Chain A
Amino acid sequence: MKLRDRPEVDEGTPWVERETTIEASPEEVWEALTDEDRLEEWMAPEVELDPTEGGEISVRDGDDHRTGTVETVEEAERFAFTWSRPGEGESFVEFTIEALPGGSRVTVVETPIGPSAAAAGAWESRLARLARATRFALVA
C-alpha cells in the first residue's frame, strides 16, 4: 500500500530520471535503499530513516540538510519519499526496482512538487505551446 502515487505535474515541470543496473538481487537492493546504515554508504554521510509510510527521513551531507516524509514502501519494488531543504521547494523521489537476469535495474525519479514547481511548469508549457504555434526555433 502506498500513501500516494508519483504526483502528476504540469507538462513542462522539470523532472529527472536516472537508472542503473546492479549485480544484486532486488532484496539486496531494497536493504541498501531502506536501511539507514546502508544508506550512509552511498546516499550521504548522515542518514536517518524510519522506512514506514509517514516515517521521517533526514539526509545530511556537511551543511546540506534535507528532511522529508516516506510516501511509499513496497518491499523490493518501490520506495518513495518527499524531501526538501529548509525554506526551499519540496521534491518527490521515487525508486523502482526491477528484477533482471543476474541482478536488478534501479530507477530513480525526482519530481519537484512545491509551489515553485507549478510556476516552472506553467511557463514552460506556455512556451512549448507558443513554439509549436509559431514554429520558431528556441534558443536554449
Chain B
Amino acid sequence: METLARGGTVTASGLAEQLPMTRQAVSKHLLALQGAELLSVSRIGRETHYELRPQPLDEAARWIQMVGAEWDERLDALRGSLENRGSASQ
C-alpha cells in the first residue's frame, strides 16, 4: 500500500522489482485490492497500470469522525441539561 501511495501508477512487474515478493504474489495482492475497490486499473498497451483510490478509507474515517463529534456534543448537552436542573431556567 505504501509503495502504491508513494508512486502514482505502477505495474505488477514494477512493483515486484521494488518489493521482496514474486510477480505472481504481487498480482494476487493487486487483485485483492481491486476487489476491495481500492485500486483503479487501466490498460496501456500490453501493460496493466494500477493506481491507489484512497477514498473508501477516507470516507469511513470521515464518517467516524463526524458521527463521533456529533455524539460528543449531544452527550455534553445531555450532561448539562441533567446537572443544571433546579436552577433558574427550570
Contacts and interface: CB of A to CB of B under 8 A. Distances in A.
Interface of A: 14-16, 18-20, 22-24, 28-29, 32-33, 38, 41-43, 106, 108, 110, 112, 120, 122-124, 126-127, 130-131, 133-134, 136-140
Nearest to B77: A42
Interface of B: 1-3, 5, 21, 29, 32-33, 35-38, 54, 56-57, 59-61, 63-64, 67-68, 71-72, 74-83
A136 B21 CA distance: 12
Dominant secondary structure at the B interface: helix
B71 A32 contact: no
Contacts, number: 93
A37 to B, nearest CB: 11
15 contacts: A16-B67, A18-B72, A18-B75, A20-B76, A20-B78, A28-B82, A32-B82, A106-B78, A108-B75, A110-B67, A112-B63, A120-B59, A123-B56, A126-B35, A139-B54
